[in-house]
Amino acid sequence: MTKIAIIIGSTRPGRNGEAVARWVYENAAKRSGVEYELVDLKDWDLPHLDEAMPAAMGQYAGEHTKAWAAKIAEFDGFVFVTPEYNHSTSGALKNAIDYVGAEWYNKAAGFVSYGVFGGARAVEHLRLVLSQLQVATVSAHVGLSLAHDFENWQLKPTEQQTAALTPLFDQLEAWSAALETVRSGAQQDEDEAAA
Q: Give the phi and the psi of residue 92 in degrees, each rounded to 5.
A: -65, -40
Domain that holds residue 51: 2-194
Contacts of 106 (CB under 8 A, 6+ apart): 134, 136, 179, 182, 183, 186
Number of domains in the chain: 1
CATH number reported for the structural domain that contains residue 36 in this entry:
3.40.50.360
Separation of alpha carbons 195 and 193, rounded Å: 6
Q: Specify the pLDDT at position 185.
A: 77
DSSP-derived 3-state class of residue 136? strand
Query: Are 79 and 29 a contacting pair, CB within 8 Å?
Result: no
Other beta carbons within 10 angstroms of residue 1's beta carbon come to: 8
Q: Specify the pLDDT at position 157.
A: 94
Separation of alpha carbons 9 and 81, rounded Å: 6
What's the alpha-carbon Rg for the chain, to the nearest Å? Answer: 17
Q: Block means of pLDDT (10 residues each) for the chain, length 195 residues?
A: 97 96 98 97 96 96 98 98 97 98 97 96 98 98 95 93 98 97 76 62
Residue 145 carries which side chain, given as an amino acid letter?
S
This prediction has a pTM of 0.94
Element (H, E) at 164: helix 159-194
